[in-house]
Amino acid sequence: MLRVTVAGLLAHRLRLILTAVTIAIGVALVAGTFILTDSAAGALGGAAAAAAPAQVVVQPAGADGGKSTAAPTSLAAGLVTQIRAVRGVASAQGLVAADKVTLIGKNGREITHRRAANELLSYPDIPALAAQYTIQSGRPPRRPGEALLDAATARSLGYRVGDRIGVATTTTGPGPGSGTGTGTTTLTVVGITGFGGADSPADAQLASFDAPTVVVVQAGTAQRLAGLPGRFTEIDALAAPGVSAATLSRRLARLLPPGAEAITGGQAAALQASDAASHLASLRTDLLAFCLVALLVAAFVIANTFAILVAQRTREYALLRVIGASRGQVLRSALTEAAILGLAASGAGVGLGILAAAGLRGLLTVLGGTLPPDGLTFAPRTAVVALATGTVVTVASALRPARLAARVEPIRALREALPTALRRSRGRLVAGIIGITAAVALLVTGSVAQSGRSAVFVGAGALLAIAALVTAAPLMAGPVAHLIAAPTAYLRGPSRGRSRGVAVAVALARDNSAANPRRTAATAAILTIGLAAAAAVSIVATSARASARDAIDGTSHADLYVLGNVGPGLARAIAAQPGVRTTMRIDSPLVEVAGARTRVDGIDPGRAALLMNYGVRTGARTALRGNAVFVSTLQADRHGWHIGSPVTINFGQGAPRTLLVAGTFADKRFTGDDYLMPITTLFRDMPDQLDSSDVLIRAAPGTRPRAIRSAIGTLIRGYPGNSLLTAAQYQSAQAADLGDLGHILGVLTALVALTVLIAALGIANGLALSVTERAREFGVMRALGLTRRQLGAMIRAESVIMCLLGALPGAAIGIGAGAALAAALTRGQTGVATIGVSPVQLAAALAATCLAALLAGIVPARHAGRVPALRAIE
């Protein structure tokens, strides 16, 4: 039987090529995802190992490595001397790490990255600690005013040793409002460094999918530039020979001030690695979710191909039965064919996976992100998983066609093969209705679930809806085909010539589609999934934007925004501009509220009335002064707070403070934060921040925002690191942050395009196969007088009918699933579920899909046109 199977495969190899390609693409994506994430993990592991000698790290509690969005807390310099005096300490060194540093390139323009924040680090004097810097050219910084620059930036901006780089600095006085000025310190690049073999720190890249610019300077310079004179953000101690890091960390813990902790280098590396690993894991999950969609599309293509092949080979199977093959043998033969095809295509797919990994990395780069470039890791697991996935999907998809093959009666060897009537249509209808109902229930559940869990509900609902539609689609093929073809009926009127010829072709296409509902529906289903994915991604993205816009429109009265590091001086200068009615600074540092890290907004309550409406629910707006804090109703409900409740806030400096709830405001909106407090109270408890001070500006009555925009634009040019945004620009900037979608949305969009490509291949495959299958039918039509052009038009019309039959339900499912997901997501972000629909994007997706289907129909239509009329007789 195996010989028959192999012969069968070889005989149909041309017809199976497109199917094999779709399997290979799906498998390549799976393999590529594993290869990419394994490679990134490998690079990360290498970096962590290099950065972790036998040492103890003393850092402010909870500062997880000091480089992420940690509250900028610090340790006094005196602690270093104390640590050095401890028995078992061989040496100790204070280090400074600051992020969100404003850097000015040699062309005088600010160096920014889409998602990564620039870092300022101090260069350790102890060689063991400096080991993580792999200097590629030049030397380490030895004097103030010298700096090492990361190799990635050096490459992208063309930096060489001897070039200059500026760092924007703020000299901060002891209290708010006192003597703060802004300036730029110019450093000379004396060396270009890598990080454990990579050009950029691996962990920073994984956290943001972007490579930050890193400037490494002497400790003293770092303290001055970071505004931390006499303080460090981390103290590293090396153990003397014979003393373990664990022992040393216990000894050091005893002399540490409150709020500081001592952990071993191993623990610090592990913390960093686990942080990065969770970023990697979520990237892998996102990518695999889309591989699943691609494989699902491939599954439909496979099922469709095998169904058509089985129909074409009915006589062959019947003959096998006549000469004594059992049903089981026919079934096994058909499944073996699928397994061989699946295995071969998956093998090719694994090979393509290496390309796919490079492609995915390239895609992330094009979209402004990077991953550590450290070769490509090909784990045996990748091959096993990819091969197994491809083969199992292929065999499972071929199961139904194989069973149909096994059911072929021996008598069919002698009789013309004719399409079987659609049976159990009532069963199909009932199953379809039940499936759709359940799917809607799942989507609704998903839309009100917490955003983490909603994806599971929505995913299950969307899959169920697709399954239900595929079940019921053959019943809809006829009516839908008539509906779609209806608009061309008017062409049959008194007009003559070409348009009438087209009308005839369309009418024939309509009847063909309606008469072969199963073939039509099976091919259409391929597109359903593709469009569902496209629509869902579009809805989620549009909703995120709409949600941000609503939140901002509803709560902010500002006409212009200056974002960056606005100090009081600049704030006063802006307020003094003619045409400005009022301005207000907002500072949003990351602190710890009731044990959870979050941002609080420091505002000026007196000016807030004119600039923002945060929807006070309880308490009076005037109560926001002194030690008062306003909390969102969301947090108030969660913690059971009401007016007068004490709230503990750890500002990271000194002892935590207790503030009193003075009121609640409607959900978290506008800035996206849950807490409001007077900015004066905020600055009393933590030094004025360098990084996150923004200013809201409202134009005077009668003054158009555009009129003051250029003046303020000119003003802030003297203050690097600030940018001026209009209300619309601010909205889109906020939207990009919403739901942390920014980094992954581009990838999703690209994968959606790939899915549509696979779907188009599937449609082309289905049409090509059916043209072969229908050659005799076309011959008859040609003999009866259908012109080549009309025959081609008929095939193209069939592909459009098929496309709309597949795409419209797909769009409906995608809109439903996307809306459910968006509702959960936006409610989690702003407290208000917002669903945004972009008709343009949806129409574009639909048009692109139909165009793909139309293009897919070109070659088969041409082939059909070449069928000679004599084919009817031979």
Binding residues (CB under 8 A) for other proteins: these are 416, 418-419, 421, 492, 500-501, 503-504, 507-508, 511-512, 515-516, 776-777, 779-790, 868-870, 872-873
Burial classification of residue 130, based on how many CB atoms lie within 10 Å of its CB (0-12 exposed, 13-18 middle, 19 or more buried): middle
Name the residue nearer to other proteins (CB basis): 513 or 671.
Answer: 513
Please, which residue, 70 or 481, has the CB nearer to other proteins? Answer: 481
Residue 573's alpha-carbon distances to 172, 179, 607, 683, in angstroms, are: 18, 15, 16, 20
- Closest by CA position to 694, among listed 596, 604, 815, 768: 604
Supply the minimum distance, in Å, between the C-beta of residue 416 and other proteins: 8
In angstroms, what is the minimal distance from the CB of 791 to other proteins? 10
Q: Which of 453, 461, 454, 548 minimizes the C-alpha distance to 741?
A: 548
Residue keyed to tokens 């691996």: 202
Q: How far is the CB of 779 from other proteins (least distance, A)?
A: 8
Select 158 or 419, whichever has its Cβ closest to other proteins.
419
834 phi, psi to nearest 5 deg: -125, 130
Q: Is 872 exposed, middle or buried (0-12, 13-18, 19+ CB in 10 A)?
A: middle
CB of 516 to other proteins, least distance (A): 6
776: left (phi over 0), alpha (psi -120 to 50) or beta: alpha
Which residues sit opposite 98 in a β-bridge? 120
What's the min distance (Å) between Cβ of 762 and other proteins?
A: 22
CB 419 within 8 A of CB 516: yes
CB atoms within 10 A of CB 481: 25
- Least distance (Å) from other proteins to the CB of residue 420? 8
Q: Which of 99, 200, 186, 115 is nearest to 149 (CA)?
A: 200
Query: What are the two backbone dihedrals, phi and then psi, of residue 583, each rounded to the nearest 5 degrees?
Result: -135, 160
Residue at 393: amino acid letter: V
Least distance to other proteins from the beta carbon of 777, Å? Answer: 6
Which of 259, 501 has the CB closer to other proteins? Answer: 501
Find where tokens 């992330």 sit.
Answer: 364
CB 405 to other proteins: min, Å: 19
Query: Beta-carbon neighbour count of residue 265 at 10 Å?
Result: 22
> Which of 364, 279, 345 lies closest to 17 in space, CA to CA?
345
Q: Which is nearer to other proteins, 851 or 870 (CB)?
A: 870
- Distance between CA atoms of 72 and 853, rounded to whole angstroms? 55
Q: Which C-beta is closer to other proteins: that of 685 or that of 798?
A: 798
Per DSSP, what are the bridge partners of residue 599? 590
Which residue's CB is nearer to other proteins, number 164 or number 492? 492
Minimum CB distance to other proteins smaller for 788 or for 862: 788
Q: What is the DSSP annotation of 458-515? A: HHHHHHHHHHHHHHHHHHHHHHHHHHHHGGGGGGGSS--THHHHHHHHHHHHHHHHHH
**For other proteins, the closer CB: 529 or 867:** 867
Question: Residue 847 or 870: which CB sits closer to other proteins?
Answer: 870
Question: Least distance from C-beta 475 to other proteins, angstroms?
Answer: 16
Shortest reach from residue 386's CB to other proteins, in Å: 41
DSSP state letter for 740: G
Residue 171 and residue 687: Cα distance in Å, rounded?
11
Nearest distance, CB of residue 780 and other proteins, angstroms:
5
Beta carbon nearer to other proteins, 170 or 790: 790
